[in-house]
Amino acid sequence: MPQDFTPIARRISQQLRELADPDKAPEMAAYMKTSMPFYGVLAGPRDQLIRDIAPDIHLSSHNDYLALIETLWALPHREEKYIAIRLAGRFKPFITPDALPLYERLIRQGAWWDFTDEIATQLVGTVLKTSPDQTWPTLDRWLLDPDLWIRRAALLSQNRLKSHTNPQKLFAYCLHLASENEFFIRKAIGWALREYARTAPDAVREFLAANAEALSPLSIREASKHLKR
């Protein structure tokens, strides 16, 4: 049986209530275009809260990891879910292919860029880097998924790989998604290419030149931001 992390969840919620800024809360919700409630706690204080509480969390199994993240994710405020994602990234021994179903659930349920992007780059990307052979079949499936956030995650999970990037996969994913009109997909293509351009600018430049007709102007503009003329 996994541990009961309800006391940890209550402690986090209590500390967030103590840090709450009722003036910032509606501004943060408006920026995220969400009806999900905010406490109004910015990233800096949230990060400090995580640093304070993480030493008191002891996980002994994958089921403990799942229970911790799912208990926090079930809380109603957006900051509680942000903390769930951040804590998921702190317990690195459990960021394995076994956690991919959890990450997929969080992306589907979160269904917005603030959740999707951190889960994809920090969590799924870590699994991809350490266990590529076990992870690519999942990402290949995600690329074909009807959920745009799952498709976006399939692409953005490659963003932090640098020299470990598989360029054939990256470029193939970009071309597969290139025909989509969805803003968040076109933006993701540009972002993914821009990140890889930091490692292999010539390869990205050649890809953009060869596929200029297939890629949207938004994707090309985002991909080219740091490429020297």
**Quick one: pLDDT at residue 28?**
97
Rounded Cα distance, 197 and 180, in Å:
22
Tens-digit pLDDT profile for residues 42-66: 999 999 999 999 999 999 999 999 9
pLDDT digits (tens, 9 = 90+) for 157-205: 999 999 999 999 999 999 999 999 999 999 999 999 999 999 999 999 9
pLDDT surpassing 70 at residue 107 = yes
* Rounded distance between C-alpha atoms, residue 65 and residue 57, angstroms: 10
Q: Give me the long-range contacts of 19-22 (CB less than 8 A, separation at least 24).
A: 19/45, 19/49
The answer to whether 221 touches 190, Cβ cutoff 8 Å, is yes
Which tens digits make up the pLDDT trace of 145-157? 999 999 999 999 9
Q: pLDDT at position 8, please? A: 98
> pTM of this prediction?
0.96
Q: What is the share, in percent, of the chain residues with pLDDT greater than 90?
A: 97
For the domain spanning 1-94, the CATH number is: 1.25.10.90
Kindly state the DSSP code that residue 182 receives in the 8-state scheme: -
Q: What are phi and psi of 164, to 5 degrees?
A: -85, 0
What's at 128, amino acid-wise?
L
Instruction: Tell me: pLDDT of 92 over 80.
Output: yes
Question: How many C-beta atoms lie closer than 10 Å to residue 36's C-beta?
Answer: 14
3-state secondary structure of 104: helix
User: Is residue 229 over pLDDT 70?
Assistant: no
How sure is the predictor about 1, in pLDDT bands with cuts at 50, 70 and 90? confident
Q: Please give the CATH topology (third level) of the domain spanning 103-229.
A: Leucine-rich Repeat Variant (1.25.10)
Comparing CA positions, the residue from 91, 65, 55, 75 lying closest to residue 14 is 75
Give the C-alpha separation, 72 to 69, whole Å: 5
The structural domains of the chain, with segments of one domain joined by +, span: 1-94, 103-229
What's the pLDDT score for residue 228? 67
- Whether 4 shows a pLDDT value over 60: the answer reads yes
